[in-house]
Amino acid sequence: MKRRIWLRWTIVVALVLIYVWTFAGIEFNGIKPTAGKITRSIFEGIFSPDWDYVYLPDGEDLLRGLLETLQISILGSVISAIVCIPFAFWSASRKGKSKAASGSGKFVLSFIRTFPELVMAILFTKAVGPGSFAGALALGLHSIGMLGKLFAEEVENMDSGPTEALVATGANRLQVLWFAVIPQVLPGFLSYSLYRFEINVRSATILGFVGAGGIGTPLIFALSSRSWDRVGIILLGIIVMVTIIDLISGYLRRKLA
Amino acid sequence: MIELRNVSKTYPNGTKGLNRINLTIGKGEFVVIVGLSGAGKSTMLRSINRLHEITDGEILIEGKSITKASGAGLRRIRRDIGMVFQSFNLVKRSSVMRNVLAGRVGYHSTLRTVLGLFPKEDINLALNALERVNILEKAYIRADQLSGGQQQRVAIARVLAQEAKIILADEPVASLDPLTTKQVMDDLKKINQELGITTIVNLHYIDLAREYATRIIGLRAGEVVFDGPVAEATDEVFAEIYGRPIKKDELLGEAAL
Amino acid sequence: MNGTGTNGLSRLPKKPSRIKHYLTFVIVLWMVWGSAVQTDSTFKELFTGLPEMWKLIEEMFPPNWQYFDNIVPAMLETIRMAIAGTTFGAIIAIPFAVISASNIVKTPWIIYPARFILNLIRTIPDLLLAALFVAIFGLGLVPGILALAVFSVGLIAKLTYEAAETIDPGPLEAMTSVGANKIQWIVFGVVPQVAAHYVSYVLYTFEINVRAAAVLGLVGAGGIGLYYEKTLGFLEYDKTNSIILFTLAVVLVIDFISTKLREKLL
């Protein structure tokens, strides 16, 4: 009982200290006088968007921007879904496998996961030049961290019975993999890849901020040139696209389960 | 013919799994192995197709040493030994047909099986195997749609499609209800008699062992303590194998038989 | 029954068509191929880019260890931003969670609009919110905190109301039977059952927010992200590397502590 009271007070004191430290360090210089006006302009922009921007016959419009965003996320997801497979088998801990092997794999994956994708995108724009390809590579590399972890869990939870049965029929390693392992893990792999695709669509909308392609490019221009009606239509476009993708992907994932 | 010569298995922690076992099992026999759980029944059965390694002695299948075999030679011997498991070990998400065809992979090249190019004869073999265990109409249904008894019959069909000369069945009815137990045991017996396949079954129930076996082998602490025809396996013999009088849960019950 | 041909088989089932599978495969392939062509993503591009990438990595090593002194204040700012954003978000999330849970509020015209707002918030990436808030409030920590707060509301409220919907209805009935009013009913019936989950979700969101806060500076919303632009602009890749390594270390430590705390909670 006494220990519980102690624990409670330690938590309270720790929290108070954390918050004092946090808020003492935040400078607040008041809200800019223009803030209200700009907020109103943004809302006006969203409610009376620049409909003409949806489709322009000669290039750079909303639909093409969104399509490019989608393409970046498709490529990024496919790249990571393929590249993460060896990582998944490396980091999956199974009976009769050394802890060091799976542990090192898990560490590499959490390292990749922690590396911010936007920074990755910047580095790729330096390497392959600005544009969608850099964005797709950044998403592809960053997603390995999460997908590899989820795939590894799928492998860990796999029933080892079918593998044993295939070995018993005289199948070789590849045949065991193809007939016992892949049919068991494939639906899970596909489902997680779709889930990651949903996340990647969101991420791809901002890659343009650092020059890595997609709808983010016109958005950052519209923001800096304060054309709020264009910001409004792009925001609407993003919301609609993300919602539709979530619905389709969610439907497909339910079918896979 | 299966010969076990001085077979011993010692686990890394020093426990004796099998202790100097010498057995010869002739073609067409229906052998039931009985004993307490932990007596080494499963270890012995899995040593025969080398799913478990032995630490001493040698096992010969049709005169060839499986103990010394490796690589393609080992797979070639395993191809002739079918195995039926307590938990069926089917790929639940694959169709019944694909599970049965998995028994054929040892006969073909990796590429051919991976591409799914099974010859017409294999397909017929698989369909005939399903017909023999009375679940032909389920051929293209996913395995997880079937009841436990039906799944075990798919596993038996897999062994039949494998054209195995020996069937090892490790507690094949332990997860089934009394009625399905009888059907599965009847299937095994029918195959043994009609096709002359040597069959070795681990069983928990004494009355089942008496009903189906031509020969009973009793294991106790990794040693053979009884080996003889059913007629000689009296209640006293079972009490000797178990080291205590027979308990009620070791009998399936008259109702089912 | 005869042993060989299929003729002897009774009740031969029909083999299901695989056209749907092939069609799906072709469509996916077409989508991937189309995306690659449209975005100029080719293996050739990748291979010509490889030497560049290698050069970049070479310039990043060894990291500039002296630079740590310059970025420690910015890193602390980043953590402050994450704490403040998560806290505000967590507080605002409570009423949202309450009015979105169908076993607490029984009125559809409250539940569905509330959930709609939560879904809407979660479609907008936090960096985009930050860019909008920077436009409104100018550069600094405030837009960052607000962006993280809005994002946190969407996530925490959703996870919490889903947890609230799975609670044991027994204590709720008990509260109703003793004649509690709605507030008492929530405080004594719902809160004790959801509190641990809620705290766990707040910590989880905090982990995500620390990562997000590290890059918010790229759009001018304060924190260590500002220094990416500075160092990359001057091609000082060894300094960029110091920032990356520092961020990784901080994130991993915070993740570790937070995960341990969450394990204790549930």
Q: Is residue B41 part of a domain?
A: yes
Shared domain check, B201 and B153 = no
Shared domain check, B229 and B103 = no
Spatial separation of the C-alpha atoms in residues A127 and C51, rounded to whole Å:
8
Pick from B78, B98, B155: which is nearest to A170 by CB? B78
Spatial separation of the C-alpha atoms in residues C241 and C190, rounded to whole Å:
48
Write out the residue range of the structural domain in which residue B112 sits.
90-164
CA C136 to chain A, closest CA, distance in angstroms equals 5
Whole-number pLDDT of residue C9: 64
The answer to whether the Cβ–Cβ distance between A161 and B79 falls below 8 Å is no
Spatial separation of the C-alpha atoms in residues B158 and A87, rounded to whole Å:
33
Spatial separation of the C-alpha atoms in residues A143 and A198, rounded to whole Å:
12
Q: State yes or no: pLDDT of C12 exceeds 90.
A: no
Average of per-residue pLDDT across B105-124: 91
Domain termination site, one of B164, B180, B197: B164
CATH of the domain at B37: 3.40.50.300
C-beta of residue A201 within 8 angstroms of C-beta of residue A26:
no
CA A93 to chain C, closest CA, distance in angstroms equals 20
- Per CB-CB distance under 8 Å, the chain A contacts of C232 are 122, 126
The answer to whether the Cβ–Cβ distance between B49 and A168 falls below 8 Å is yes
Q: Is residue B256 part of a domain?
A: no
Q: State yes or no: pLDDT of B24 exceeds 60.
A: yes
Query: Residue B69, by phi and psi: left (phi above 0), alpha (psi -120 to 50) or beta?
Result: beta
Neighbours of B178 (CB within 10 A): 14
- Which residue in chain B has the smallest CA separation from A185? B93
The answer to whether the Cβ–Cβ distance between A119 and C244 falls below 8 Å is yes
DSSP state of B119: -
Whole-number pLDDT of residue A247: 94
Q: Characterize B87-113 residue by residue with b for buried, 16 or more Cβ atoms within 10 angstroms of its Cβ, and e for exposed.
A: bbbbbbbbbbbbbbbbbbbbbeeeeeb
Whole-number pLDDT of residue C147: 95
Q: State yes or no: pLDDT of B178 exceeds 90.
A: no
- Which residue in chain A has the smallest CA separation from B92? A184
Spatial separation of the C-alpha atoms in residues A93 and A105, rounded to whole Å:
10
Interface test with B, best of C1, C7, C9 (most B CBs within 10 A): C9
Which range has the worst mean pLDDT, A195-199, B216-220, C100-104? C100-104
Q: In what order do the strands lie in the sheet with B198-202?
A: B81-84, B166-170, B198-202, B30-34, B215-220, B223-229
Q: State yes or no: pLDDT of B16 exceeds 60.
A: yes
Whole-number pLDDT of residue C2: 41
Average of per-residue pLDDT across B70-89: 93
For chain C, the average pLDDT equals 87
The answer to whether the Cβ–Cβ distance between A180 and B49 falls below 8 Å is no
Cα A135 vs. chain centroid, distance in angstroms? 12
Q: State yes or no: pLDDT of C42 exceeds 50.
A: yes
Say if A85 is an interface residue toward chain B (CB within 8 Å): no
Q: Is residue B204 part of a domain?
A: yes
Interface test with A, best of B46, B89, B97, B117 (most A CBs within 10 A): B89
What residues does A143 pair with on adjacent strands? none
Say if B12 is an interface residue toward chain C (CB within 8 Å): no
Whole-number pLDDT of residue A1: 64
Helices (H), B106-247: 110-114, 120-132, 148-161, 178-195, 206-212, 235-242
**Number of residue pairs across A and C with CB atoms under 8 Å?**
145
With a CB cutoff of 8 Å and minimum separation 6, the contacts of A5 are none
Q: How confident is the model at residue B119 (pLDDT cuts 50, 70, 90)?
A: very high
Interface test with A, best of C128, C243, C250, C264 (most A CBs within 10 A): C128
C-beta of residue B191 within 8 angstroms of C-beta of residue B156:
yes
- Percentage of chain C beyond pLDDT 70 is 96
Whole-number pLDDT of residue A127: 84
pLDDT (tens digit, 9 = 90+) per residue, A161-194?
A: 999 999 999 999 999 999 999 999 999 999 999 9
- Per CB-CB distance under 8 Å, the chain B contacts of C6 are 123-124, 127
Domain termination site, one of B147, B164, B181: B164
Residues of chain A with pLDDT under 50: none
The tokens of A27 are what?
């400078």
Spatial separation of the C-alpha atoms in residues C179 and C174, rounded to whole Å:
9
CA C162 to chain B, closest CA, distance in angstroms equals 30
Shared domain check, B172 and B159 = no
C-beta of residue A142 within 8 angstroms of C-beta of residue A72:
no
Terminal C-alpha separation, chain A: 47
DSSP state of C17: P
DSSP state of B103: G
Whole-number pLDDT of residue C84: 95
Cα A31 vs. chain centroid, distance in angstroms? 33
C-beta of residue A131 within 8 angstroms of C-beta of residue A212:
yes
Whole-number pLDDT of residue B206: 86
DSSP state of B2: E
Helices A35-47 and A228-256, axial angle in degrees (round to 10) = 60
CA B159 to chain A, closest CA, distance in angstroms equals 8
Shared domain check, B159 and B169 = no
The answer to whether the Cβ–Cβ distance between B128 and C15 falls below 8 Å is no
Whole-number pLDDT of residue C3: 43
ipTM of the complex, rounded to two decimals: 0.89
CA B74 to chain C, closest CA, distance in angstroms equals 29
Whole-number pLDDT of residue C222: 84
Q: Is residue B257 part of a domain?
A: no
Whole-number pLDDT of residue B243: 82
Whole-number pLDDT of residue A242: 94
pLDDT (tens digit, 9 = 90+) per residue, B128-159?
A: 999 999 999 999 999 999 999 999 999 999 99
Average of per-residue pLDDT across C198-219: 92
Spatial separation of the C-alpha atoms in residues B68 and B55, rounded to whole Å:
12
Shared domain check, B146 and B170 = no
With a CB cutoff of 8 Å and minimum separation 6, the contacts of C9 are B127, B128, B131, B136, C1
Shared domain check, B173 and B74 = yes
Whole-number pLDDT of residue C1: 40
The answer to whether the Cβ–Cβ distance between C9 and B140 falls below 8 Å is no
The answer to whether the Cβ–Cβ distance between A170 and B85 falls below 8 Å is no
What residues does B215 pair with on adjacent strands? B31, B229
Q: What is the CA radius of gyration of chain B?
A: 18
- Percentage of chain C beyond pLDDT 90 is 39
CA C68 to chain A, closest CA, distance in angstroms equals 18
CA B121 to chain C, closest CA, distance in angstroms equals 8
Shared domain check, B183 and B131 = no
CATH 3.90.230.10 fits A57-256, yes or no: no
What values do phi and psi take at B93, rounded to 5? -85, -10
Domain termination site, one of B164, B192, B214: B164
- Per CB-CB distance under 8 Å, the chain A contacts of B51 are 164, 167-168
Q: In what order do the strands lie in the sheet with B56-61?
A: B16-25, B2-10, B56-61, B64-65
Say if A184 is an interface residue toward chain B (CB within 8 Å): yes
Q: What is the CA radius of gyration of chain C?
A: 27
Counting the structural domains of chain B, the total is 2
Pick from C3, C4, C16: which is nearest to B140 by CB? C16
* Residue carrying the six token digits 């025969």: B48
- Per CB-CB distance under 8 Å, the chain A contacts of C136 are 32, 35, 38-39, 42
Pairing of strands B215-220, B223-229: antiparallel
- Per CB-CB distance under 8 Å, the chain B contacts of C10 are 131, 136
Q: Where are the domains of chain A?
A: 57-256
Cα A115 vs. chain centroid, distance in angstroms? 12
Whole-number pLDDT of residue C33: 93
Shared domain check, B119 and B24 = no
- Which residue in chain C has the smallest CA separation from A200? C125
The tokens of C88 are what?
């505000």
- Helix, strand, coil share of chain A (percent; to 5): 80, 0, 20
With a CB cutoff of 8 Å and minimum separation 6, the contacts of A77 are A139, A140, A143, A193, A196, A197, A200
Q: How confident is the model at residue C151 (pLDDT cuts 50, 70, 90)?
A: very high
The answer to whether the Cβ–Cβ distance between A161 and B103 falls below 8 Å is no
Shared domain check, B174 and B158 = no
Neighbours of chain B (3+ CB pairs under 8 A): A, C
Q: Is residue B1 part of a domain?
A: yes
> What angle (nearest 5°) sits at the alpha carbon of residue C8, between those of residues C13 and B85?
65
- Per CB-CB distance under 8 Å, the chain C contacts of A205 are 125, 128
pLDDT (tens digit, 9 = 90+) per residue, C211-257?
A: 999 999 888 888 898 888 888 888 888 888 899 899 989 998 998 99
Shared domain check, B154 and B213 = no
The answer to whether the Cβ–Cβ distance between B131 and C16 falls below 8 Å is no
pLDDT (tens digit, 9 = 90+) per residue, B181-208?
A: 999 999 999 999 999 999 999 998 888 8
Q: Which of residues 129-168 of B touch C (CB under 8 A)?
A: 131, 136-140
Spatial separation of the C-alpha atoms in residues C156 and B248, rounded to whole Å:
56
Say if A178 is an interface residue toward chain B (CB within 8 Å): yes
The answer to whether the Cβ–Cβ distance between B89 and A179 falls below 8 Å is no
Neighbours of chain A (3+ CB pairs under 8 A): B, C
